[in-house]
Each structure stands twice: as C-alpha cells, then as structure tokens.
Amino acid sequence: MNYDFSADFLTMDCLEPLTLKVSGQANQIIPQALSEPAEWKDPDKAAGNVLEGDELWIWPKRATPAKPPLGSILVDSDGISWTILSVTSKPAPLNVWEAHCRNLSVVYNLNNLASVYKATYAKSAGGEALATYSVLLTDIPARFQPFEQEAKILEDADWPKTTYHVYLGTDIFEPNIPVEPASADYRLVDAAGRHYRIMQYQRAERIDALPLAVCVLIIEGGEGGATDRVTTSGA
C-alpha cells in the first residue's frame, strides 16, 4: 500500500509562508513551510563578529513541483532572504523539498548601505573637464571593511591611502544594470557619505559568495585637490 503523508505536513506547528524567487521566472508563493537550524559556525568573512546560521527549509512538493535551482532565493515572513545552496528531494510518503539555505547578509555582516554614483562632465572656464557625480543606484546592502593603509605623498603632503574591501548584496555589474564598476566614472558611497573609488570589481563565482569591490577611500585633496562634486538628481 502506498502512503502519502504530505497532507500531514500542513498540520504541523510553526509553519510560515515563503516566497521562492527564481531568476527569470515569476515569484512563487509557498503557503506553508518549516524551518530548522542546520548549523552554526564562525565564518571567515565575518572576522569573528557574527555567527553564520544556516537553515533547512522544508515544504510540500505540491507547492512548487519543479526542483528549485541552486542559487535561488527563499524570502521568509520576516523579509529575510535565504540563498539555496542545496536541495534534497524527499520522496513518498513525505513528498517534500528540503533546501539547505544561507543568509548571505548575515554571513558577510552587511551592516551598511551603498550607493553607486556616476560622473557627468562639464568644462570649466579654463577648459578643464570637471566631473559631477549623481546617484545611479541606492540602498545596496554592503559591508565596508578596511583592508590596507599606506602613506602617500601628494604635493609634499603626507596622506593616508586606505584600501577597503566592499562586499555588496547586489551584483552591480549584472547585464541589466548599466555600470562598469572599475572605471573613473563611478564611485561607491557609504551611508555616512564617504566616497570610494572602485579599483577592482570581482563577481562572485559561487552561489554562497557575494560580489567584492576593492576601493580606495577618497579624501579631500586626494584627487585633483578636491572632493567629488555631488548632485542629488539621478544620472
């Protein structure tokens, strides 16, 4: 005799709805799902500041018959996004999906917000091309991590050159986002209004990793003797 216990799943306590986001597809609603802590460990990228908490999300196959692709996102009832790292099919009589997920915002301690600014140019009275930066993208979850500092001599003055590793919750070099990050035309700006020149941009090659921008903090006098000129209008 074949048993089907999938209906019994819906009688369990502590169920909550999820939204499954698959690239290129419409969002799918999972009415009821169960979460279980998978493991806790101290991740390298958090520098010991946070604990990485993975989750197992379990839901009936009837809610999403197709196997969710790895790298897809589950959004829980608190609005937290979980990246699917692996999926296990539990056949009859259970008939559920079991997805091992990770909250990358926690893993990378994305405790800041970044904006992307783009330059437009106009000539000064003396014929010099002057850049004015305006907002292109905003509210990108980010972590600005000081990486290296060295002394730099500019016009006989000693300036600190500080390099940052900036982990970004959004790939700003996606095909549908018109940004060439490692270019003089773009800046990253943190929540405190500090500007950073993007020297190198690394796209994540794994579903459990985030894009990384290697940046230099711009200080007054550090580039052409002045800070970036900024407007609040869009580019």
Assess whether pLDDT exceeds 50 at residue 24.
yes
- As given in the structure block, the two tokens for residue 118 are 């783009």
Residue 100 token pair: 């091992």
* 163 — pLDDT class (breaks 50, 70, 90): very high
Burial of 156 (0-12, 13-18, 19+ CB in 10 A): exposed
On whether both 41 and 143 belong to a single domain, the answer is no
Residue 196 has pLDDT above 60, yes or no: yes
**Of 224, 167, 216, whose CA–CA distance to 187 is shortest?**
216
Domain housing 228? 112-234
Average pLDDT value for residue range 202-209: 78
* 40-80 tens-digit pLDDT: 555 555 454 444 568 899 999 999 999 999 989 999 998 88
Report yes or no: 85 and 207 within 8 Å, Cβ to Cβ: yes
Query: Can you tell me which residue has the tokens 């930066």?
Result: 133
In a domain, 37, yes or no: yes
pLDDT at 39 (0 to 100): 62
Res. 228: pLDDT tops 60: yes
Among residues 199, 204, 117, which one has the least CA distance to residue 165? 199
- In the block, tokens 């405190």 appear at 192
What CATH number does residue 204 fall under?
2.40.10
Instruction: With respect to residue 35, please indicate whether it lies within any of the assigned structural domains.
Output: yes
Same domain, yes or no: 95 and 12: yes
Decide which of 8 and 88 is more confident: 88
For residue 7, give the DSSP letter: H
Mean pLDDT of the residues in the chain: 81
* Domain count of the fold of the chain: 2
Structure tokens at 217: 């903090």
Question: Is residue 1 one of the residues assigned to a domain?
Answer: no
Q: How many CB atoms lie within 10 A of CB 133?
A: 21
Residues 98 and 138 occupy one common structural domain: no
The string of pLDDT tens digits covering residues 106-162 is 767 888 999 999 888 888 787 788 888 899 899 999 999 998 888 766 666 667 789
Residues 86 and 35 in one domain: yes
Q: For the range 188-191, what are the long-range contacts, defined as Cβ-Cβ under 8 Å and sequence gap of 24 or more?
A: 188/114, 188/115, 188/116, 188/117, 188/142, 188/213, 188/215, 189/114, 189/115, 189/116, 189/117, 190/112, 190/113, 190/114, 190/142, 190/144, 191/112, 191/113, 191/114
